[in-house]
């Protein structure tokens, strides 16, 4: 078995692989794309960090490749659809940099509070300006944490040791887990309004891009300090510049940026009350060793057939079983993503009921895929097929897989029920004759929708002209309709419409739809 390591990896990880007699480990750093493409055909596994980009062309050239291991959290430099199609497992190391990122967050909070970078620069310039750099204490202050996963939870424990009160926003965090952690769960608006410090620990996704912008800064105290060690783009940098310039907030500390490296002429790097570091969250000796060991062990076990851990694109099943279950895995993921973008409130329970001939198979991978799809709109790259169930349980979300012998209307049926603290949401899915996924019932209303690409989910009153009005508004916005499926609970009652469109729908077009008379709800969904 040949393993290629194309980015620098801590020696501890390399030693784990070299200890296996059957493995030939080659370390070839700094390969250009064409060079990697030329040699990848000879390797069974590839281990990378952030410097190597594994494109579809490189994957296509890989004749023996079984595993791609990323020593780090993100897999945005791997073409996951191409890897999946080729049958290559792509794995990452979600836990390796938890402590280092949490500690860096606390370092930025302290630096921002006590003006440490500015005071250091002043003293080295030959000045003694004690009064200029008067700071503030952490004790008794309120820290708002957005995202209470591994890193957010670790930050909360560290901050509590400073005597800080912890508020947390996490749509997937149960009250039971929050109580155990000693944090108070609040909605985002309350967190923005009451926090003295706000730190972000969520992945970047379509749902979280510019989560904090002009409107959110306007809600905050003018004494608040904002910290981001997660992903650039979650904070709208233009809005942050405005907030700092006009003293709407007391300060900010950034380790990540919308574009990296950032524009070195940006005002963010000129403000005295903005502390900036060059993406150092995982840059500790210990973190580099941890991710190297974690990915080496994962790749070794996967190649030796001892199990797949932290796979981002492949459920843990045999190749034969996967061929049978693949259409259902695809259906379940799409159902989960569809529901995950529509549900309101914190998830308490997920019930997946299987009916028809699908019940003759072991459907655990299908359940994993459904939960993955449901959690991914918020948790992003930190959730995958393998860890989705565990992440749900960590948040005290009950997951039930039920086989039904009841004769249903469909030969094969996957029924999803998501119970939150605000509602119970129901979704039925099945496969068409050519194994294509279909959504056939939303709550108590029958539809015939294709869960793919961009979709508009619309609730409206059953009145004449609504469908025409929707079509007109989309046409005016140069949005082409692929298909429309709608159903109603009764004549004159509530109507659900699912409109497949060929492209993204801009906010102004969505607002026009929402303002249309008798339109009750509009949501753009991407599956």
Q: Distance between CA atoms of 517 and 169, rounded to whole angstroms?
A: 34
Whose CA is closest to 292, among 480, 11, 4, 499? Answer: 11
The one catalytic residue in 279, 361, 426, 488 is 279
Residue 445's beta-bridge partner residues? Answer: 442
Angle, alpha carbons 6-11-15 (nearest 5°): 95
E strands, 307-436, are 347-356, 398-404, 412-420, 424-431
For residue 426, list its beta bridge partners. Answer: 417
Question: 129 catalytic, yes or no?
Answer: no
Strand partners, 67: 45, 89
**Residues 143, 112 contacting (CB under 8 angstroms):** no
How far is it, in rounded angstroms, from Cα 446 to Cα 440? 6
Name the token pair of 175.
């009250």
- The residues, any chain, with a CB within 8 Å of residue 142's CB and separated by 6 or more, are 164, 165, 166, 167, 194, 195, 196, 197
Q: Which of 22, 130, 134, 260 is catalytic?
A: 260
Query: Phi and psi (nearest 5°) for 309?
Result: -115, 140
C-alpha neighbours within 13 Å on the C-beta side of residue 253: 25
The closest alpha carbon to 174, from 343, 344, 345, belongs to 345
> Looking up tokens 């508004």, which residue turns up?
473
Structure tokens at 294: 């974690």
* Contact indicator for 524, 455 with CB cutoff of 8 Å: yes
Strands 142-146 and 89-91, by their bridges, are: unpaired
Give catalytic status of residue 401 as yes or no.
no
Would you give the end-to-end CA distance of the chain in angstroms? 37
Alpha carbon distance 146, 167 (integer Å): 9
Q: Helix, strand, coil % (nearest 5) of the chain?
A: 35, 25, 40
> Is 260 one of the annotated active-site residues of the chain?
yes
Q: Which of 76, 52, 116, 49 is nearest to 287 (CA)?
A: 49
Q: Are 55 and 32 in contact (CB under 8 A)?
A: no
Which of 104, 231, 300, 438 is catalytic? The answer is: 231
Provide the annotated active-site residues: 231, 260, 279
């Amino acid at each position: 078995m040949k393993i290629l390591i194309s980015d620098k990896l801590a020696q501890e990880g390399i030693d784990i692989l070299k200890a296996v007699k059957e493995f030939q480990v080659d370390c070839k750093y700094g390969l250009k794309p064409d060079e990697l493409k030329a040699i990848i055909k000879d390797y069974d596994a590839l281990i990378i960090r952030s410097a190597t980009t594994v494109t579809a062309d490189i994957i296509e050239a890989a004749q023996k490749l079984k595993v791609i291991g990323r020593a780090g959290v993100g897999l945005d430099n791997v073409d996951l659809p191409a890897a999946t199609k080729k049958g290559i497992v792509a794995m990452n190391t979600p836990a390796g940099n938890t402590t280092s990122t949490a500690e860096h967050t606390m370092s930025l909070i302290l630096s921002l509070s006590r003006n440490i970078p500015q005071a250091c620069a002043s003293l080295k310039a030959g000045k003694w300006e004690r009064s200029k750099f008067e700071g503030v204490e952490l004790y008794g202050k309120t820290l708002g944490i957005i995202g209470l996963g591994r890193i957010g939870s670790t930050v909360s424990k560290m901050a509590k040791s400073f005597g800080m009160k912890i508020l947390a926003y996490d749509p997937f965090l149960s009250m039971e887990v929050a109580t155990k952690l000693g944090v108070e769960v609040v909605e985002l608006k309350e967190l923005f309004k009451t926090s003295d410090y706000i730190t972000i620990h969520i992945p970047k996704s379509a749902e979280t891009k510019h989560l904090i912008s002009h409107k959110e800064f306007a809600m905050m105290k003018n004494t608040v300090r904002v910290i981001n060690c997660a992903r650039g783009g979650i904070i709208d940098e233009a809005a942050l510049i405005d907030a700092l310039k006009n003293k709407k907030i007391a300060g900010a500390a950034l380790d990540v940026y919308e574009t990296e490296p950032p524009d070195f002429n940006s005002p963010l790097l000129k403000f005295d009350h903005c502390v900036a570091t060059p993406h150092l969250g995982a840059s500790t000796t210990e973190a580099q060793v941890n991710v190297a060991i974690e990915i080496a062990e994962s790749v070794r076990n996967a190649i030796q057939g001892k199990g797949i851990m932290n796979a981002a694109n492949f459920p843990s099943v045999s190749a034969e079983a996967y061929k049978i279950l693949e259409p259902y895995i695809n259906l379940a993921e799409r159902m989960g993503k569809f529901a995950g973008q529509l549900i309101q409130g914190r998830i308490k329970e997920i019930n997946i009921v299987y009916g028809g001939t699908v019940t003759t198979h072991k459907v655990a991978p299908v359940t994993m895929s459904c939960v993955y799809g449901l959690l991914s709109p918020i948790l992003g790259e930190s959730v995958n097929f393998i860890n989705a169930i565990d992440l749900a349980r960590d948040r005290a979300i009950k997951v039930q897989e039920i086989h039904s012998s009841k004769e249903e209307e469909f030969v094969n049926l996957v029924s999803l029920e998501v119970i939150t603290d605000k509602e119970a949401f129901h979704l039925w899915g099945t496969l068409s004759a050519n194994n294509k996924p279909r959504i056939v019932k939303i709550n108590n209303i029958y539809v015939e929708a294709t869960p793919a690409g961009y979709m508009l989910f619309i609730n409206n009153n059953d009145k004449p002209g609504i469908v025409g009005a929707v079509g007109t508004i989309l046409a005016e916005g140069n949005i082409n309709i692929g298909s429309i499926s709608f159903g109603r609970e009764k004549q004159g009652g509530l109507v659900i419409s699912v409109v497949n469109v060929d492209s993204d729908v801009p906010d102004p077009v969505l607002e026009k739809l929402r303002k249309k008379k008798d339109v009750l709800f509009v949501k753009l969904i991407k599956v």
